[in-house]
Amino acid sequence: IALKTVGQVADHVSLKIVDPITKKIVKIGEQGEIWVKGYCRMLGYYEDEEKTREVIDQSGWYNMGDLGVLDENGYLKIIGRTKEMIIRGGINLFPKEIEDVINTHPNVAEAYVCGVPSEKLGEEVCAWVKLKQNNEKSLSSEDIKNFCLERMSRYKCPKYLLFVDSFPLTASNKAQKFLMTQKSCEILGIK
C-alpha cells in the first residue's frame, strides 16, 4: 500500500487533511485538502502579500493546493489538485478517481476528466477519452458510461464523453484541465 503513496510526513513537519468547504480536519482515510506546517514551508510569495494570505493562514499552515488521503499508518496519497476538483450537487468529485476507472477499460489508451458548468448541479463530469490505436471494436459514449456504472457510483459517472486524438498538455506532459473545460464547453455548447 505504501507504494501508491508519496510516503510518510517528514520529521518536524506537521500535516493535516481538511474538508475543502468547511476547512475542518477530516477523519483518517477521508479525502481533503493537504495543509502543511514546519521548517520546509515557504515564507510567502515574493512581493505578493495578498496571494500569500490566500495560501498561508494566521497559524502558519500552508495550503499546498493538493487533494490527498492520509492512511492509518501515516502514509499520504495525492489524489489531485484542489482547483481540479468537481463539485456536483454539493458533492466533491476527484477527477483522478474517475480517470483511474476509465483508464482500466481495455480499449482506452488514455482518459482525463474535467468539470463543466451545470445550471442544475453546479458542475457535471466530462471525460475526454483517447482510444487505443488498433481498436477493432468501436466504442460509444454509452459503452464507456456503462463500464463506469459497473465500477463506481452513478453520481461520479461522466455525463459527457468526448472522444479525442490528443489532449492539451503542459511542457511536463500533464493535462491542462482548464483548457479541457473551456474546449468542452465550446464543443457541448455550454456557457
132: phi then psi, degrees, rounded to nearest 5: -65, 150
**Domain residue ranges in the chain:** 2-81, 86-188
- Listed residue (88, 116, 125, 122) closest to 181, CA to CA: 116
pLDDT of residue 2: 65
Query: Over the stretch 144-178, which tens digit does the pLDDT of each residue have?
Result: 999 999 999 999 999 999 999 999 999 998 899 99
- Averaged over 11-28, what is the pLDDT? 93
Query: Over the stretch 85-129, which tens digit does the pLDDT of each residue have?
Result: 899 998 989 899 999 999 999 999 999 999 999 999 999 999 999
Specify the pTM.
0.76
Q: Is domain 86-188 in CATH 3.30.365.10, yes or no?
A: no
Q: How far apart are CA 99 and CA 129, in angstroms?
A: 9
Cell numbers 482510444 correspond to 131
Question: 2-81 has which CATH code?
Answer: 2.30.38.10
Pairing between β-strand 122-131 and β-strand 160-163 as defined by DSSP bridges:
parallel
